[in-house]
Amino acid sequence: MTMLDAKGFSLIELLIVVSIIAIITGIAMPSWRDYIQAARRIDATGALLHIAARQEQFRLQDQRYANTETLGTTGNTSDGHYEMRVVVTTAGFEATATVDLNGKQHDDTECWSFGIDETGRRWSRSTDGTDTTTKCWRS
């Protein structure tokens, strides 16, 4: 049997293919992670918009804003990536969503917390308190 009759891949060819796959994976993974984080942010913004709509609906009927028990909002968003909190005063409300430290979104330092109030003002902040509203709240 000569070398020309041999079938299969040489070790060099196999190493080249493995190296190419490793390079492509190394380039693609950070971008994929960013897309996943952005998709999870929709969980927070959607929940906040839902709370704001429910608050306005409640206010139309009862002439005041509702506490979280009345609204039936839970402590976490539907996917569990953010912890929800609603503070109600006589003048209005502020709903916030903050990254759950035990969740999969805990390394999203850029869009750490989201909020909305009775005027419809939206905000977002990073872990160091920087305003990231224009990047994190996508309309």
How confident is the model at residue 89, as a pLDDT?
A: 85
* Identity of the highest mean pLDDT range in 24-28, 66-70, 73-77, 124-128: 124-128
Question: Would you place residue 139 in the very low, low, confident or very high pLDDT band (cuts 50, 70, 90)?
Answer: very low
pTM of the complete model: 0.74
Q: Architecture of domain 11-136 in CATH? A: 2-Layer Sandwich (3.30)
Average pLDDT over residues 32-59: 88
As given in the structure block, the two tokens for residue 136 are 């994190």
Domain ranges of the chain: 11-136
Query: Cα(108)–Cα(114) distance, rounded to whole angstroms?
Result: 12
> Which helix (H) or strand (E) covers residue 124, if one does?
strand 122-125
- DSSP, collapsed to helix, strand or coil, labels residue 114 as strand
How confident is the model at residue 78, as a pLDDT?
A: 67
pLDDT in tens, 63-107: 888 877 666 666 777 677 888 888 888 889 999 999 988 878 888
